[in-house]
Chains A and B, each alone.
Chain A
Amino acid sequence: MAKTILEFEKPIIELEKKIEEMRSMSSDLDISNEIEALERRVNDLRKSIFSGLSRWQRVQLARHPDRPLTMDYLEMMETDFIELHGDRHFGDDHAIVGGFGQLDGKTIMFIGHQKGRDTKSNLYRNFGMANPEGYRKALRLMKMAEKFDKPVITLIDTPGAYPGIGAEERGQAESIARNLFEMCRLRVPIIVTIIGEGASGGALGIGIGDRILMMENTWYSVIAPESCSSILWRSWEYKEQAAEALKLTGEDLLELGVIDRIIEEPRGGAHRNPAEAAFILKNTLLEELEDLLKSTPDKRVKDRIKKFSSIGYYEE
């Protein structure tokens, strides 16, 4: 059961509670018809609420405190993940995790942003906001994956790269730029999945791949709606409008040609059934991987460069 309930989730969760209560009473009363009717009602309600979600509500779901995080998925997908630390230059960034794991017996290099769950772990993870050493650790691990011919899977979930003094001193911009360049020409398959928030260069820094996937209730854009609101509207209050204007959902980005596929989430969102979300994610990743492994390194790099080179809208 969800610990945090968003405003628009309330009616669904209240009905679900009621059904549960009735079930617990039903041992001595025959109310199965009523329960069935209520279940139909909750399904209809969920469908109508979730089919009409605003973009801002999607952003809220992407940030839902109970939503599975990178390490949760790695565990639930039974990857046997072994974490590898450090960029070999400066330090180990806790906002990005990486290491070997397996999917269906195949060795994979997994890399992902890692947020925390509470104040303490969020401070440790810097709220999923990476410093340059995070991007450099990611690159080190990707080059190792290339060396040993292992595919790379990245999971994106960040409110942005960290805007700090140290980050600038150590070349935040250069570290992201370098990753874009190197990921474009990495000879092993790369699958990128947005599992939560995909904010700006901080997301893109591990976001170049042969396939770009987005889970259903996630967002991906050049800037967070609040920051966009504060810059363009000169107030934090226009975040809903900013979210609408930015066209930041999976559907939007599929239509604009930025992503390749949307990964369905369990009813009510990944946080309502993390195990099922992980199961769907795992199957999708395996499917995409199988497809990519049919290609050759040369062809993959060529296709990847072509893919990103052709994004954009303009008129002559």
Chain B
Amino acid sequence: MAWFRRSKQNIDPSSGKKEVPDGSWIKCNGCNEMFHRNQIEAALYTCPKCNYHFRVDSKTYLGFLLDPKSFREYDKKLRATDPLGFVDSKAYKDRIDSMIEKTGLYDAIRCGVGKIDGMTVSIGAMDFAFIGGSMGSVVGEKIARAVDRAIKRKCPLILVSSSGGARMMEGALSLMQMAKTAAKLVQLAEKKLPYISIMLDPTTGGVTASFAMLGDVNIAEPKALIGFAGPRVIKQTIGKDLPEGFQQAEFLLEKGFVDMVVHRKDMRETVLRLLRFFQN
């Protein structure tokens, strides 16, 4: 049936156009020009001409931020159970299994401890390729533990978001992960430890409406889509086209919801400068 295929596509956006395609010549989604893979890679997967930011996986992103070989991953194999026995076009259990097989990840966030210019940080970065970076119990628990590690080591917390929001297949339990991550951030705040939230394209729904918007400092990558409701839903509701640039990082900066929009090649340096101010 047609809707089987379509629905799978819909919640498996790993095939989304933002990913870096295979092959040694890459066409930029921003300016449509061809570049050699080496050029794109050297620019941290951004376009050398138009600054388009390609979507990358958590491991690659952590590599941009952290000192080489400083990352130690925790809770890698924490994985989803299926508390609701959720079945749509596919059983959630099977979806998880095939996602694990396909991506080599166990869920939509990678967490651990690393160093930025020698400074220890507790850090997590999301993988949009894993069921649209959706937050269920595993993402919530891994963030909770990342907060615990920050508290234990008395170090800052950095979370890099890229997510379609809460994971439908865990129902109210996913919704409660918003509450859970916020509750853990209260504990972090009580210890006066800084939290830097970095939002990539896209960061929407329950992730934006919980930990992603709660940074002491909120940073966004250029043109990243950031919002609560998705543009499609808003368009459907109001029955009008959306204004140019609506819900893009620069729009959020203008409206006062992110502290800065930072190009990926300046991200590590920016975070480093902030951490120094916090720690001095």
Contacts and interface: CB of A to CB of B under 8 A. Distances in A.
A176 B175 CA distance: 12
Interface of B: 3, 6-7, 10-11, 75, 77-81, 83-84, 86-89, 136-138, 140-141, 144, 166-180, 182-187, 189, 205-206, 208-214, 226-229, 233-234, 237-238, 242-243, 246-247, 255-257
A: contact size bracket: 35 or more
Contacts of A238: 88
Contact of A308 (B81, B169, B176, B212): B176
Contacts of B185: 181
Given A177-B210, A208-B183, A248-B171, 10 more contacts: A161-B229, A177-B208, A222-B167, A228-B168, A232-B10, A245-B86, A245-B169, A246-B86, A256-B173, A308-B182
Contacts of B212: 173, 177
14 contacts: A161-B228, A176-B228, A177-B214, A180-B210, A204-B178, A204-B179, A222-B168, A222-B171, A234-B7, A252-B172, A309-B183, A309-B184, A311-B140, A314-B138
A169 B257 CA distance: 9
A168 interface: yes
Interface string A174-213: 1011101100110000000000000011011101100000
Contacts of A174: 209, 213, 257
B171 A180 contact: no
B229 A233 contact: no
A247 B172 contact: yes
A263 interface: no
A173 B179 contact: no
Contacts of B255: 169-171
B3 A221 contact: no
Nearest to B138: A314
Contacts of B78: 314-316
Nearest to A177: B213
Nearest to A181: B182
Contact of B171 (A173, A181, A221, A235): A221
A223 interface: yes
A312 B177 contact: yes
A163 B237 CA distance: 7
B88 A185 contact: no
Contacts of A42: none
A202 B242 CA distance: 22
